Structure formats: C-alpha cells, structure tokens
Structure 1
Amino acid sequence: MTYAQLKEELIAYSKTIGIDKIGFASADAFLTLKDRLLVQQELGYQSGFEEPDIDKRVNPELSLPKARSIISIALAYPSRMKDPPKSTKGDRRGVFCRASWGKDYHHILRDRLKKLEDFLNEKVPEAKTLSMVDTGALSDRAVAERAGIGWSAKNCAIITPEFGSYVYLGDLLTTLPFEPDTPITDQCGTCNKCVDACPTGALIQGGQLDSHKCIAFLTQTKGFLPEQYRKKLGNRIYGCDTCQQVCPKNKGIDVHNHPEMEPDPEIAKPRLIPLLTMSNREFKERFGDISGSWRGKKPIQRNAIIALAHFKEESALPVLKTLLTSDPRPVIRGTAAWAIGKIGRTDEEEMILKHAEKLEKDEDVLNEIKKGLDLLETNVTRN
C-alpha cells in the first residue's frame, strides 16, 4: 500500500468514527509562529497555561523524534441550546461558554485520536505516533492552519468554511510521510467585528491576543478579578463567546453531530445562588464532566458572585453575607464584600461590612470590604 492510499483509507475511516474534518501537514518547524510567539512573550501577552518552551511549541520533532507528518482533526460543536432556561429576577443564571457544553472535549478528541492511532498502527506497525489535545506542546491552531482545516482568524480561532469557528481541534504526529494538504486562504478580509466587539479590548489587532485581558482567561484565574473587568464579566462564569458570536462566518451555523456534546441546560446555564454553597463533592458530581470545571469550584463561585452583583440580585444578599463572615477563602470573602456593596442599599449591609472589617485579617479582603462600603455609600446616596 502506498502512503497516498493509506491517507485515503484514513480519511474514509475518520468519517466512520465521528471526525468532521481531517487534514494533513508536514512536520517541519513552524518558523513564522516562533517569531509571533517571541513577540507575544516580549509583550507579556501569554496566559501562562501554554507550554513555556517556545522551541517545543514550534518544533514537532521535540515531541516525536523523526516526525514526518501531523494529522489535524476538527469536531464541530453546537452553537445553540435547545430550550435554554430564562434568567429572571430572583432566579438568576450564569453561563458557560459553548466550548464547555456537553462532555469535556478533551475526552472526546482523545477517543477519536486514539482510534486513528490504532488504525495506523494496525496498518503500519513500525509507525510511531503521538496525539495532542489542547494541552500538548504544539499550537493546535498553527497545525490546523497548515493542514487546511481552516484559516487563523482575527479572533485567534480557526475558522472552517463548513463549521465556522465552532470546532474543537486535535493533532496526531506520526513518522509516516503523508502528502500535506493545501492551507486555506485567509478570508477575514477587512472585517474587524471581533476586534471591535471584544468586551475588554483583549484582541489588540487581528490575530494578536493579550491573554491577561481576555474574559475567557480571566474566568479561569483563581485570585481576585481585577475590578476594571468585573462589570465586563456579565453573567459569564466560564469562558467567553463574544468574538465568535459576532463573526459573520459563524452566522447561521449550529452543528449537532455529536450527542455527547449536547448541553444540559441546567449545567450549561446554571442557577447562580445554589452555586455559592456547593461542596467540592457536589460541584464535582454536577460539573465534573464538563471542561469548564478543570480549575475547580473557586473561580466559578467567584464569577457567580460577580454575576449576581452584575444583576444587582438582592435575593443573593443573605448567602453573600454568610460567605463574607464564614468562608475560609479570602477570594470568596472579599468578592462577596464587594458584591454586597454593589447590591445593597440599607443600613444592614453597612453594618455587616463594618463588622466584618473589624474581624478581618487579610489585607486583600479588607481592601474589598472598603470597596464595598464605598459602593454602598454611592447606592444609598442615589436612593
């Protein structure tokens, strides 16, 4: 069998196991990517979640010696939820981004890549393979771009002609020398809607992202959320879809090819107040199967508090007061204090904050209590 025949067989097989798109690229070093990554590093735009060694990110042979080809796969995920629950006064809800709907995509893509590996190993036992999903050293987007899956767009996502940017990406390195596919020409043109719509200005220019301003990144941090971003968060508790939602290439696209990616509305758009008192066990049982749970419950609970403040949800005040006075985590106590000031309008809130101020030892929390008192004073004055 020739490599051309094997490639065709692999493409045909991929369709039988639920891969929506597959492309092939050379395993040559990504030299232009290295230049971009160095600039990102110099500007301090990296998130800290990526592989720190730039050489590993751009040289496939550092991950798999004698790598000759990289197979890129894409699986399309839904952009719309059937019968989404309403967020109403007294029953406010937060939202997970679309990439966190359904079962954790890491597991789904690893399953597909493992099947591809097994297929290749059966056909060519001496072949070496290595699969990566999201957390691997290589840039999934750079591989997908080279493999003709889509183009690297101004919103820093891969846009496919068939599925827009609503796709998960995975890579499979191999020592087999497959003929590479042709990259797709950039089709963003003069459109700048994603850059203009970014809530925090994180898209500095087309294709360049300051991760530390990106809401998707900020929702995953574990410390205090910088105050200038809190009102930008809205009701997002994990991730952000704004740059995808405004993209004309995503208009009308809503793919439901994979049952395991279908969202449970009560998980993808959960009630906020019950989130605040969940135990670790309850959180894991309820949210453990989705990708948005990977950082644990603290960032989600912090974001839920900010979302309740965004809604000025007065029914949340009792639980916020309890968190302020009894939660062992400074980030939760402090964010609750700030939220009480944002929502509250009575002498009772002022009394609670001042009492907590006398007992609090943590400087960061004390700073948030002060912010809460200042906000409360503003609310009372407006009344």
Structure 2
Amino acid sequence: MTGAQLKEELIAYSKSIGIDKIGIASADVFTSLKTRLYEQQRLGYQSGFEEPDIEKRTTPALLVSEAASIISIALAYPSKMKNPPRSVKGQRRGIFCRASWGKDYHHILREKLQLLEQFLKEKVPGISIKSMVDTGELSDRAVAERAGIGWSGKNCSIITPEFGSYVYLGELVTSVSMPPDQPITDQCGTCNKCVEVCPTGALVQGGQLDSGKCIAFLTQTKDFLPDRYREKLGNRLYGCDTCQTVCPKNKGIDFHLHDEMEPDPELAKPLLEPMLFMSNREFKDSFGHVSGSWRGKKPIQRNAIIALAHYKEESAVPKLIRLMNEDPRPVIRGTAAWAIGKIGGPLSLQSLNIAKEQEKDGNVLVEIDKGLQMLENHGIS
C-alpha cells in the first residue's frame, strides 16, 4: 500500500469514528516555532504547564524514531448552551469556559487517537506511533497549522474554516510517510479584535501570548490571585472565552456533533455559594469528569469567592465569614476576607476586626487589611 492509499483509507476511517477534521503534516523540525518558543522563554511568557524541553516540543524525531508524518485531528465542540440558567441576586452563578463543557476532552480525543493507532497498526505492521493531546510534548497548534487543519489566529487558537476556533486538537507522530496537506493561508487580516479586548492584555500582539497574564491560566493557579486581576476575573471559574467570542470567524458557529461534549447547564454554569463548602468527594462526584477539574477544587473555590465579590452578593457574606474563620487553607481564608471587604454590608466590619485579632497567617492578615481598607474607603469604619 502506498502512502497516498493509506492516507485515503485513514481519512475515510476517521470520518466513520466521528473525527470532524483530519490532516497530515511532515515530521520535520518546527524551526520557526523553535525560534518563537526560545523568545517566549526569554521574555518569561511561558505558563509552566507546557513541556519545558523546547527541543522535544519542536523535534518529532526525538519522540518517535524515524518519524515521517504527523496526523492531526480536530473535533468541534459546542459554543452555545441550551437553556442556560440565569444568574440572579441571591442565586449567583459562575461559568466554566466552553472547552470544559461536557466530558473531559482529553479522554474523548484519546479514545479517537487509540482507534486511529489500532487502524494504522493493522494496516502497517511494525509502525511506530506516539499520540498526544494537549499535555504532550508537541504543540497541538503548530501541528494542526502545518497539517492544514486551520490557521494560527491572533488569539493563539487554531481557526478552522468550518468550525471556527471551537475545536479540540490531538495528533499522532508516526514512522510511516504519507503525502502532507497544505497549510491554510492566514485569514485574520487586519482584524485585531481579540488583542484589543483581552481583559488583561495577555495577547501582547497578534499570535503572542503572555501566559502569566491570561485569565485562562490565572483561573488554574492555586495561590492568591494578584489584586490587579481580581476585577478582571468576573464570574469565571475556569478558563476564558473572550478572545474566541469576539472573533468574527466564530460568528454563528455552534456545532453539536458529539453527545459527550454537551454541557450540563447546572455544572457549566453552577451556583456559586454551594461550591464554597464542597468536600473533595462532592467536588469529584460533580465536576470530576470535566477538564476544568484537573487542578482540584481549591482554585475553583477561590474563583467562586472572587465571583461573589464581583457581584457584591450580600447574601454570601455569612458564608464568607465562616470560610474566613474556619477554612484551613490560607488562600481561601484570605480571599474570603478580601471579598467581605469588597461586598461590604453590616456584618463586614465587625467580622474582619475579629478575624484580625485571631488570624496568625501573615498573608491572610494582609488580605484582612485590604478588606478593612475597602470598607474605610466606603465610609465604613
């Protein structure tokens, strides 16, 4: 069987198992990406979540001996939720980004990639293959761009002509050679909307991201969120979709092709107050199957506290006082103290003053003082 024949059969098989788009890239070194990554490293723009070895990220032959081709796949996910619950006073809600709706996409794509592996091993005995999704060494985006899945947009997402940027990506590095697909010409043109509206200025310029400023990254951190980003967080619990929702290429795009990607509205847009005292077991039972749970409940609970402060939800103050006084985690106690000061109300001043007398952790005391200062600024002292 020639490489061209194998590619034709592979494409037909991929459609039969529900892969929305597939492309083939050469396994040559990603030379321009390597240059960009070293520059990102020099500027300190990396998130720390990616593979630290830039050579591995850009040299497929380091991952599969005799690497010849890379197969890139894309699956489209929904951009709109059916019957989303409303966030109203007394019942405020947070939001998980679209990439965390439904079943964790890592599992969905790995299942598809495993099927492709089995198919290839039957067709080409002795083939070497390595598959990866998101957390692998290679850049999913660079592979997809080379394979003609889409172009790399200014919002640092792959934008496909068919599905916009609402796609999950994965790839297989293989030792078999197949005719590569042609990359798609960049279609962002002069549009700069994503760069202009990024809430934190994380998109330094089109196609360059300062990961440490990106809200999607910040929602996953476990420490105190820097003050300058708390207002920007809004009601986001995990991830950020702003640079996708403003993209003209995503206008009117909403595909519901995979049942397992459909969001449960009560989990994608959950009530905030019940999340504050969730046990690890309750969190895992409710959210363990979504990609946004991978860092555990602590970042989500911290973000829920900030969201309640964003709404100035006075009904939450008694619960926040309880967190401030009883939670064993300094980040949660301190963020609750800050939120109490931000929200205000008759209970805030006394509770913060009492907590200041009892608290031993220096970082929490700093947050209590911030809360007291906000109250003073509003004439409450």
For the aligned pair, the TM-score class normalised by the smaller chain equals: over 0.9
5+ unaligned residues in a row in structure 1: which ranges?
none
Q: For 1:67 and 1:2, how far apart are their aligned partners in 2? A: 17
Provide the secondary structure at the position in 1 that maps to 2:378: helix
- Contact 1:104–1:290 (8 Å) recurs in 2: yes
2:173 corresponds to which letter in structure 1? L
| TM-score where L is the length of structure 2 | 0.99
2:351 corresponds in structure 1 to 352
1:303 corresponds in structure 2 to 303
1:75 corresponds to which letter in structure 2? L
Q: Within 5 Å, which residues of 2 pair with 1:1-383?
A: 1-346=1-346, 348-380=347-379
Q: For 1:380 and 1:294, how far apart are their aligned partners in 2? A: 42
Please list the CA deviations of residues 3-58 of structure 1 after superposition, one character each: whole Å capped at 9, or x if unmatched.
11110000000001010000000000001001000110000000000000000000
Q: For 1:312 and 1:65, how far apart are their aligned partners in 2? A: 57
Please list the CA deviations of residues 321-343 of structure 1 after superposition, one character each: whole Å capped at 9, or x if unmatched.
00000000000000000000001
- Contact 1:345–1:380 (8 Å) recurs in 2: no
Provide the secondary structure at the position in 2 that maps to 1:237: strand
Q: For 1:248 and 1:177, how far apart are their aligned partners in 2? A: 36
Q: For 2:273 and 2:376, how far apart are their aligned partners in 1? A: 25
Shift of 1:381: 5.2
1:352 corresponds to which letter in structure 2? S
Please list the CA deviations of residues 117-141 of structure 1 after superposition, one character each: whole Å capped at 9, or x if unmatched.
0000011111111100000000000
1:153 corresponds to which letter in structure 2? G
Q: For 1:107 and 1:187, how far apart are their aligned partners in 2? A: 31
Q: For 1:378 and 1:102, how far apart are their aligned partners in 2? A: 43
Please list the CA deviations of residues 50-97 of structure 1 after superposition, one character each: whole Å capped at 9, or x if unmatched.
000000000011111111000000000000000000000000000000
1:295 corresponds to which letter in structure 2? R
Q: For 1:171 and 1:377, how far apart are their aligned partners in 2? A: 55
Provide the secondary structure at the position in 1 that maps to 2:57: helix
Q: For 2:353 and 2:380, how far apart are their aligned partners in 1? A: 18
Q: For 1:284 and 1:306, how far apart are their aligned partners in 2? A: 21
- Contact 1:345–1:376 (8 Å) recurs in 2: no
Provide the secondary structure at the position in 1 that maps to 2:165: coil
5+ unaligned residues in a row in structure 2: which ranges?
none
Q: For 1:256 and 1:287, how far apart are their aligned partners in 2? A: 21
Q: For 2:19 and 2:327, how far apart are their aligned partners in 1? A: 45
Q: For 2:179 and 2:4, how far apart are their aligned partners in 1? A: 7
Shift of 1:380: 3.5
- Contact 2:349–2:380 (8 Å) recurs in 1: no
Please list the CA deviations of residues 140-161 of structure 1 after superposition, one character each: whole Å capped at 9, or x if unmatched.
0000000000000000000000
Identity among equivalent positions (%) equals 74
- Contact 2:314–2:345 (8 Å) recurs in 1: no
Q: For 2:271 and 2:154, how far apart are their aligned partners in 1? A: 33
- Contact 1:141–1:157 (8 Å) recurs in 2: yes
| TM-score where L is the length of structure 1 | 0.99
Q: For 1:297 and 1:223, how far apart are their aligned partners in 2? A: 13
Q: For 1:67 and 1:3, how far apart are their aligned partners in 2? A: 14
Equivalent pairs counted in the alignment come to: 381
Q: For 1:2 and 1:94, how far apart are their aligned partners in 2? A: 52
Greater mean alpha carbon deviation, residues 355-364 or residues 136-145: 355-364
Shift of 1:280: 0.2
Q: For 1:264 and 1:310, how far apart are their aligned partners in 2? A: 24
Provide the secondary structure at the position in 1 that maps to 2:379: helix
